[in-house]
Amino acid sequence: MADLLVSDAVLEGAIGHIVTGSDCMVDGNAPRPAGGFESLTDIAGEIDLFLRGMQVGRASLADAGRSAGQGLRSMMQEVSALDASLASSLSAGFAVRGKSS
């Protein structure tokens, strides 16, 4: 399996897009029409249930996006803290070298 390298800048950009998308889903969510409506085919109840389901689905996806963004930010903070801890535990003059290609 190939190594996956994701830079902090790319990850931060992805978090920003996730949060922006979540905000758009909530802010752009048009409310259902108030009250019912009559239909010639008697499907008004089914349409109302569908519209309610769409609202719940949008809200759920927006919440999941925000949660994912918060989780990714938290992970980045933990990784930064781990990096700082490792760096401070290395004695001066010790160098870590990665694999060269």
Count of CB atoms within 10 A of residue 26's CB?
15
Tens-binned pLDDT, residue by residue, of the chain (101 aa):
578 787 888 888 988 888 888 888 778 777 777 777 777 888 888 888 888 888 888 889 889 988 998 998 998 899 888 988 888 877 665 565 656 55
Give residues with Cβ within 8 angstroms of 66, minimum separation 6.
Answer: 18, 19, 22
Indicate the pTM of the whole model. 0.63
CA distance 95 to 6: 23
Domain ranges of the chain: 42-76
Task: Report the pLDDT value the prediction gives residue 59, as an integer from 0 to 100.
Answer: 87
- In angstroms, the Cα distances linking 47 to 31, 42, 51, 96 are 14, 10, 6, 63
